């Protein structure tokens, strides 16, 4: 006998007899109706994933889908959702798509309990079938003896923060040119090797071993980044004289190719987000119901370099010791010392694709590493783009880094 409970939240939960879905879309979306029809009729998991992908990655920023049928026992996870599984022998594991650009697909065996989770908190309420707004789904799929699950949601499994590297002195930062923007076709999303983590236990699982103890964070929370006022952006092309070795030469974004109109929604604070967003990209509050309007595309954020300089993201950015190449419309940012080979001449770039911000290593000698908040550092594969989320630190070689910060 399968028992399902949910913790109220802001995502859409679709509950069937043998399939459970947590989806980051607006509840009035037609996708909700299509997913409910597929789950209710017990269609194969691939059919539900195909319906979600018809909307595209931009329309569905995250989802977690589990189906436990005789011929198919699988979980598919994308974005910020995760699936926590306890098998009948008491072993526990977590399936997460952290650091993955597409999604993670896993086969499941001998499942006794599972939690489709976002980290919401509150009472767990019963649901047999249908569509509800939820932050978690808790499913008991067997009668294995185990303690009752608590009503409160389980806190996130702690992850050690990335080690803080010593920041050597950076001689200068130079943006070499700013030319009119030329739109480029979007790069197809690459296939990424799935990443999952196996853990010892959850405190709601039927295990005798204690849950891991929380680790002391070594980085400030993301909200701390907003406490410091961002420096005023430079609105003109400026090149300061490099009169001393410690001087900074910097060329911020100048005049571009004109304002670009996009379909956008506006939060109560006035921040603009994409027409498919459910939450504000700046203050993260739920967006009120509204029709999207054609508005001027905002600057999507800034790159805060380890020497304190900032680069406004109103166009693509190429970084390196002496960046060059046929990249019309991009800002070429010179970082590091001119005679230092730790950073390649053309090391990495940051590209704007609609509302998305993407980073890519350009085949550098010493590589590029990204550290997302709450996740271990990950070295980028050359020429493979990854999405940048707010608070992500990108390190060039092991010397210079920058942090992506979102702005209104």
Which string of DSSP letters, residue by residue, matches 162-194? PPPPP------EEE---------PPPPPPP---
Number of domains in the chain: 3
Report the candidate in 173, 358, 181 with the shortest Cα–Cα distance to residue 254: 181
Give the residues across from 295 on adjacent strands: 262
Q: Are residues 279 and 335 in the same domain?
A: no
Cα–Cα dist 368/348, whole Å? 7
- CB-based contacts of 308: which residues, under 8 Å, 6+ apart? none
In a domain, 236, yes or no: yes
For residues 223 and 284, the answer to whether their CB atoms sit within 8 Å is: no
Query: How many residues can be counted in the chain?
Result: 408
In a domain, 23, yes or no: yes
Q: Are residues 367 and 287 in the same domain?
A: no
In a domain, 406, yes or no: yes
Q: Are residues 28 and 136 in the same domain?
A: yes
Cα–Cα dist 350/324, whole Å? 14
Domain that holds residue 284: 261-296
In a domain, 204, yes or no: no
Q: Are residues 226 and 267 in the same domain?
A: no
For residues 177 and 251, the answer to whether their CB atoms sit within 8 Å is: yes
The predicted structure's pLDDT at residue 325: 60
Most distant CA pair in the chain: distance in Å? 76
Output the CA–CA distances (angstroms, integers) from residue 114 to 136, 159, 196, 198, 212, in the order listed.
Answer: 10, 20, 16, 14, 19
In a domain, 167, yes or no: yes
Q: Are residues 101 and 176 in the same domain?
A: no
For residues 111 and 95, the answer to whether their CB atoms sit within 8 Å is: no
Q: Are residues 291 and 330 in the same domain?
A: no
Q: What is the CATH number of the domain that holds 360?
A: 2.60.200.20
126: tokens are 């019963």
The predicted structure's pLDDT at residue 19: 94
In a domain, 243, yes or no: yes
Report the candidate in 186, 192, 225 with the shortest Cα–Cα distance to residue 316: 186
In the chain, what is the straight-line distance between the N-terminal and C-terminal CA atoms, in Å? Answer: 49
The predicted structure's pLDDT at residue 93: 87
Q: Are residues 386 and 279 in the same domain?
A: no
The predicted structure's pLDDT at residue 321: 87
pLDDT tens digit string along 270-297?
Answer: 999 888 788 888 888 898 988 888 888 8
Which string of DSSP letters, residue by residue, matches 60-111? ---EEEEEE-SS-EEEEEETT-EEEEEETTS-EEEEE-TT-SS-EEEE--SE
One digit per residue, the tens of pLDDT, for the chain of length 408 reads 789 999 998 899 999 999 999 998 888 888 999 999 999 999 999 999 999 988 877 778 789 999 999 889 999 998 888 898 888 888 888 898 877 778 889 999 888 888 888 766 778 899 989 999 988 999 998 544 443 444 444 444 343 444 444 444 444 555 555 444 445 555 554 443 343 343 434 444 444 434 444 444 344 443 333 344 443 333 332 222 222 333 333 333 333 445 678 888 999 999 998 887 888 888 888 989 888 888 888 999 999 998 889 999 988 999 988 887 656 678 888 887 767 778 998 999 999 888 889 999 999 999 999 998 888 899 999 998 888 988 999 999 887 899 999 876
Q: Are residues 271 and 304 in the same domain?
A: no
In a domain, 147, yes or no: no
Q: Are residues 322 and 238 in the same domain?
A: yes
Q: Are residues 355 and 227 in the same domain?
A: yes
H/E stretch holding 29 = none
Domain end, chosen from 88, 111, 140, is at 140
Domain end, chosen from 296, 314, 343, is at 296
In a domain, 203, yes or no: no
Q: Are residues 41 and 129 in the same domain?
A: yes
Cα 288-291-297 angle, rounded to 5 deg: 95
- CB-based contacts of 253: which residues, under 8 Å, 6+ apart? 175, 178, 233, 311, 312, 314, 315, 331
Cα–Cα dist 9/6, whole Å? 9
Q: Are residues 282 and 378 in the same domain?
A: no
- CB-based contacts of 174: which residues, under 8 Å, 6+ apart? 239, 249, 250, 251, 333, 334, 335
240: tokens are 């300061």
For residues 249 and 172, the answer to whether their CB atoms sit within 8 Å is: yes
In the block, residue with structure tokens 């198919």 = 72
Give the residues across from 14 on adjacent strands: 21, 131
The predicted structure's pLDDT at residue 53: 86
């Amino acid at each position: 006998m399968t028992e399902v409970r949910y913790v109220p939240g802001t995502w859409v939960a679709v509950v069937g007899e043998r399939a459970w879905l947590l989806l980051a879309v607006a509840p009035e979306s037609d996708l909700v109706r299509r997913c409910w029809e597929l789950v209710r009729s017990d269609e194969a998991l691939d059919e539900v994933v195909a319906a979600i992908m018809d909307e595209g990655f931009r329309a569905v920023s995250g989802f977690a889908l589990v189906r436990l049928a005789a011929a198919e026992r699988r979980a598919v996870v994308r974005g910020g959702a995760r699936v926590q599984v306890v098998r009948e022998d008491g072993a526990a594991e977590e399936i997460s798509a952290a650091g993955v650009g597409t999604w993670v697909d896993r086969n499941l065996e001998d499942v006794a309990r599972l939690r489709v989770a976002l980290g919401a908190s509150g009472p767990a309420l019963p649901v047999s079938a249908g569509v509800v707004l939820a932050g978690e789904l808790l499913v008991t799929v067997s009668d294995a003896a185990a303690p009752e699950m608590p009503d409160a949601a389980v806190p996130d499994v702690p992850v050690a923060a990335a080690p803080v590297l010593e920041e050597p002195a950076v001689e200068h930062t130079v943006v070499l040119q700013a030319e009119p923007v030329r739109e480029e076709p979007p790069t197809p999303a690459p296939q990424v090797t799935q990443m999952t983590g196996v853990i010892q236990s959850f405190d709601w699982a039927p295990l005798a071993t204690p849950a891991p103890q929380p680790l002391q964070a070594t980085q400030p929370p993301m909200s701390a980044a907003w406490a410091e006022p961002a420096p005023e952006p430079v609105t003109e092309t400026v090149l300061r004289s490099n009169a001393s070795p410690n001087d900074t030469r910097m060329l911020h974004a100048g005049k571009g190719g004109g304002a670009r109109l996009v379909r956008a929604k506006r939060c109560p604070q006035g921040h603009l987000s994409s027409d498919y967003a459910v939450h504000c990209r700046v203050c993260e509050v739920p967006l009120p119901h509204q029709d999207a309007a054609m508005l001027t595309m905002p600057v999507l954020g800034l790159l805060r370099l380890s020497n304190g300089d900032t680069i406004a993201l109103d166009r693509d950015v190429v970084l390196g010791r002496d960046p060059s190449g046929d990249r019309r419309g991009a800002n070429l940012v010179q970082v590091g010392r001119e005679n230092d080979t730790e950073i390649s001449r053309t090391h990495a770039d940051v590209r704007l694709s609609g509302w998305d911000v993407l980073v890519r290593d350009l085949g550098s000698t010493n590589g590029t590493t990204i550290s997302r908040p709450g996740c271990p550092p990950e070295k980028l594969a050359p020429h493979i783009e990854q999405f940048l989320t707010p608070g992500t630190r990108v390190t060039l070689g092991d010397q210079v880094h920058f942090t992506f910060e979102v702005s209104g």
